[in-house]
Structure 1
């Protein structure tokens, strides 16, 4: 159980600052592994003899595993302690990395990415929980800015690192670079984080008594239903038609599982790992939904802007990765400034009310991008998008924490993190459906094969080869224009979602962060 702290009585010690630095490094690692594969997927498909579906799941398996495990890991840490769980999750991530970097076939790569995703989700869940344990609410925005900035840098610059390594002889370096960070963290965390002198979880009792307190039924229902739902949504329109049994069955099983999970957590157990009552006030629920939608838009923009640059502008993977830096340039300073101001004022809703209109505006303006759009135009639009996301990175989390009881802060934190990761998965899935459907229709109208849409990432490389050799310039330009129309459809969808996010932000509960 967390202990209430007065922000006037708390000052960060040197060990606290070093611990926050270690947590920041772990957050960076977990974030860039979520996006680092985006520009390398064609290389992986070619080098490991994989299909477009294999390449798609190489990225998606990480996101699915990352999302579903976060609330479960947080619940286990309430019983067994944060430090031990964080060490276990770093080891799990390291094992997944070793499996992936030694892969010579796609099944092994997918297994490694899934294990990596479990470790990354657990790491980020523990980063949030430990940070919440040691820093009082009023001061969290100031210090949380460092961790959020690291998360944002990792999300946006992951493609830069991936693009630099997108070569048949060097792609394994996208995994090798994780090992030094894991090694440093495994040494630093046990020395820097001492639960016995920090506010945090109560972990007294024998291992068997702790084991009996775990909500196995609730965790099993949650993991099964969430995984089933996300697999169905991810398959829809990409691997199978939306009206196929392969899509509808896992989606409906997932929804039924959600209902059973809620019923069990509310009335079936004395030790629920999900405390459903945190959603009883819609004004609090609105903050969680804003977090989910912001994760959806941020990840969909990062993913499909990369597809636009590769398939329409014909950038190589490295140049595509570097082209995401304008969004980072807009995001970083604003997120730091917003954190400082939230700490000073104790208010958070103003960030939502500035960030959502800017994010929605940026998504709407990105609809204007075409094959002949000047570089200065899309750079400026990405900066605006980054500024909008910079305002949105922190306030939803602090709203969730400020509006719950102190005993529920850790659960509220993990649920918020889960929903944002859940939104990332939805961003790829819904964006992929929109992009492929529009691209297929345009290709059919132009008398071109529809399979190009299902293999769009790999086909971008073929378009660059056609440009380099001067082959079929008319056909190439037509396909580029069709790619642009698919991208515009995704941005139109994100604009509508941004409007919904702004509407929800108007209902977020007012609370001073004391």
Structure 2
């Protein structure tokens, strides 16, 4: 009896120890207030604690990321400087503002979708190469344009490459040791500043020499840059092995995890809103039914997008996890988004309207016009080095 009692007591103590160990493990697996729960979209890298090794492909990939950022800003900054010449050459002064706006609109809409799809489908390399090739095609279409609508369509295709800008910052952090990442991120920004300096000067000089063919040569140069970027990414970028919670589902099931309703609402709302802003005051009066109807419908769709992102989904374009965590996380992130939004409004206003304003009031020479904005981008380039 004593032996049986001792055995039962030992079994109870062993069971209590196992239960305590399980509870301890469970507590460790439950994230604290400052930690995020891992979702099915979150990537987990194999051998995450092991530093990436440097080899020749790494340097090619980093050079390709530098060239990608340079080319993206090169495509954005060039056309606004000679927008008046492009509109006059193609008899499209009334819609010439759509040349830079088309690229920016595609970038604003596709950025979150591309970033999300690259994780869900684990297709970062394919997306980078594919978007660069679409931009390559767009840059090849623009020089042969006989109507400004063709240039706008070309800019839409170029916008696909510009929309991959978030991935240009992800790749260096994947393939480099930690100590080199801040330095290389600064280099990526510096490459963008170089593109912002070079594009206005190149297109301004070419267009001043020949208003009909100058800006067309600029697109041929841009085409070569997109092609070189695609080749560099294809040859050098080798994504590290990783997995997520969607590895074992098929394509259509993965597609359902993309925020397609939010994407459609954002696309239609932004398009209608921007169309109304471009129609008003130029093609039609602000009080006309066409402008007001388009404007109000666009605003209504954007409000619907906001309501859907708040009430209809928690993992969409406006992922709820980003705004949780109290003052130290959620509020800080929301404030940063607001500040970046204000910065974007100011930046794109400067990019699009400052050249037009300067042309109308101060300077008719396109090269000198480009020179007037160089100090801004030079300051950006030098400032990014200590920030990195």
Length-normalised TM-score, structure 2: 0.75
Judge conservation of contact 1:133–1:199 (CA < 8 Å) in 2: no
**Structure-2 separation of matches of 1:299 and 1:47:** 24
1:321-377 CA distance string (max 9 Å, x none): 1232222332211111121xxxxxxxxxxxxxxxxxxxxxxxxxxxxxxxxxxxxxx
The residue correspondences of 1:10-409 to structure 2 (distance < 5 A) are 10=51, 13-14=54-55, 15-48=57-90, 50-80=91-121, 81-121=123-163, 123-131=164-172, 133-134=174-175, 140-166=181-207, 167=210, 168-197=212-241, 205-269=249-313, 272-280=316-324, 281-339=330-388
1:1-43 CA distance string (max 9 Å, x none): 2348999964672443432221121111111211211232232
**Structure-2 separation of matches of 1:303 and 1:34:** 10
Deviation, structure 1 residue 261: 2.6
Larger radius of gyration: 2
Helix, strand or coil at the partner of 1:172: helix
1:387 paired residue number: none
Judge conservation of contact 1:6–1:136 (CA < 8 Å) in 2: no
Judge conservation of contact 1:278–1:284 (CA < 8 Å) in 2: yes
**Structure-2 separation of matches of 1:42 and 1:190:** 37
Unaligned runs of 5+ in 1: 340-514
Judge conservation of contact 2:113–2:258 (CA < 8 Å) in 1: no
Deviation, structure 1 residue 68: 1.7
Unaligned runs of 5+ in 2: 1-41, 325-329
1:457 paired residue number: none
**Structure-1 separation of matches of 2:287 and 2:220:** 41
Helix, strand or coil at the partner of 2:215: coil
Number of equivalences: 337
**Structure-2 separation of matches of 1:247 and 1:37:** 26
Length-normalised TM-score, structure 1: 0.58
Deviation, structure 1 residue 65: 1.9
- The root-mean-square deviation of aligned C-alpha atoms, in Å, is 3.2
1:414-440 CA distance string (max 9 Å, x none): xxxxxxxxxxxxxxxxxxxxxxxxxxx
**Structure-2 separation of matches of 1:140 and 1:240:** 51
Judge conservation of contact 1:7–1:136 (CA < 8 Å) in 2: no
